[in-house]
Amino acid sequence: MTPRAMFGGVGLYHRGVFFGILARDTLYFKTDERNRGDYLRPRVKAFAPYADKPGRATRYYPVPLEILESAPELAVWARKAIAAAQNT
Average confidence (pLDDT) over 59-66: 92
Pairing state between β 17-23 and 26-30 = antiparallel
pLDDT digits (tens, 9 = 90+) for 29-38: 999 999 998 9
Is the overall model pTM greater than 0.75, yes or no?
yes
Are the CB atoms for 54 and 83 separated by under 8 Å?
A: no
* pLDDT on residue 8: 79
